[in-house]
């Protein structure tokens, strides 16, 4: 099966291309560096020729509200139009758990707009809502840093490893279109402030984690269950401490 992975040179995309290839699929990475630009349409017709499935794991280079909305709307429109012309039978997109619960967040609003375009298109689709990635935990802490303190909302948190994300997306990609969504998350659900307190200790980071109910998560204050999946979610297998140990040893 030919599966085109848009954003296939990035964190999740590169893992997905590798995993699909290991299972005998023709996985093609589509990105500006490979001559495919979803914003301009460059290379789309060529890369989609003969493709049965397209997986979109691309991301906006800017998280500024107007810029991220422009990216996802323009990119998705161009991609869906090219897929329709090429006869693609399954469009898979990766989104974020909690998008509909925090629409005032500019990034989440842009993902909602992307999903609406996909849902209204003629192409059968599947949406994979994932929780935060372990690979982004440090940037979340940095974003929440105020002097020597890291202010974190004491809400539920269930991050997951990029490898588990790629595995879950790969399963969806080779299956029948859901014409709906599936949620995926990590194997452990904890309080966000507790998670970061332990994570910083593991890093040897001297910053103090402060539980602050008013703390913002990339511009918005999350609710108790905003960032975690609901019942029936697919859970990954890799725990954060195991991932951290594996990353440190390069395994």
1-20 per-position pLDDT tens digit: 999 999 999 999 999 999 99
Domain boundaries, the chain: 2-249
What burial letters (b/e) apply to 117-127, b meaning 16+ CB within 10 Å? bbeebebebbb
**Closest-CA residue to 34 (of 10, 15, 18, 2):** 10
Residue with tokens 């139009």, as numbered in its chain: 81
62-101 per-position pLDDT tens digit: 888 899 999 999 999 999 999 999 999 999 999 999 998 8
Tokens standing for residue 136: 């982004």
**Closest-CA residue to 143 (of 67, 226, 207):** 207
How confident is the model over 94-117, as a mean pLDDT?
92
**Closest-CA residue to 45 (of 5, 10, 11, 86):** 86
Q: How many CB atoms lie within 10 A of CB 201?
A: 11
Residue of higher predicted confidence among 104 and 24:
24
Phi-psi bin for 195: left (phi > 0), alpha (psi -120 to 50), beta?
A: alpha
Tokens standing for residue 94: 């990766």
The CATH architecture annotation of domain 2-249 reads: 3-Layer(aba) Sandwich (3.40)
Please name the residues in contact with 242: beta carbons below 8 A apart, sequence gap of 6 or more: none
Alpha helices in 49-191 (DSSP H): 65-86, 106-120, 137-143, 162-173
H-run or E-run covering 163: helix 162-173
What is the model's pLDDT at position 219? Answer: 82
What is the model's pLDDT at position 249? Answer: 63
How confident is the model over 218-229, as a mean pLDDT?
92
Alpha carbons 153 and 157: distance in angstroms, whole number = 10
What is the model's pLDDT at position 103? Answer: 82
Helix, strand, or coil here: 220?
strand
Lowest mean pLDDT among 73-87, 168-182, 237-251: 237-251
Tokens standing for residue 108: 């989440």
Write the burial class of residue 248 (CB in 10 Å: 0-12 exposed, 13-18 middle, 19+ buried): exposed
How confident is the model over 46-62, as a mean pLDDT?
96
| pTM score | 0.94
119-145 per-position pLDDT tens digit: 999 999 999 999 999 999 999 999 999
Tokens standing for residue 241: 């401490």
What is the model's pLDDT at position 218? Answer: 83
């Amino acid at each position: 099966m030919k599966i085109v992975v848009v954003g296939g040179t990035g964190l999740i995309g590169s893992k997905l291309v590798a995993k699909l290839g290991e299972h005998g699929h023709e996985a093609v990475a589509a990105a500006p560096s490979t001559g495919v630009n979803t914003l301009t349409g460059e290379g789309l017709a060529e890369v989609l020729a003969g493709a049965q499935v397209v997986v979109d794991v691309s991301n906006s280079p800017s998280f500024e509200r107007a810029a991220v909305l422009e990216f996802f709307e323009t990119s998705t429109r161009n991609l869906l139009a090219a897929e329709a012309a090429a006869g693609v039978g399954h469009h898979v997109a990766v989104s974020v758990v909690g998008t509909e619960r925090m629409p005032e967040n500019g990034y989440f609003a842009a993902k909602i707009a992307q999903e609406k375009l996909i849902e209204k298109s003629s192409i059968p689709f599947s949406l994979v809502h994932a929780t935060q990635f372990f690979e982004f935990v440090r940037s979340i802490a940095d974003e929440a840093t105020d002097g020597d303190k890291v202010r974190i909302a004491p809400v539920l948190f269930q991050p997951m490893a990029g490898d588990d994300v790629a595995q879950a997306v790969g399963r969806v990609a080779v299956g029948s279109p859901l014409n709906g969504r599936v949620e995926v998350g990590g194997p452990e659900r904890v309080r966000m402030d507790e998670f970061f307190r332990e994570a910083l200790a593991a890093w040897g980071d001297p910053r103090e984690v402060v539980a602050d109910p008013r703390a913002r998560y990339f511009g918005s204050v999350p609710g108790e269950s905003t960032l975690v999946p609901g019942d029936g979610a697919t859970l990954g297998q890799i725990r954060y401490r195991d991932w951290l140990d594996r990353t440190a040893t390069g395994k």
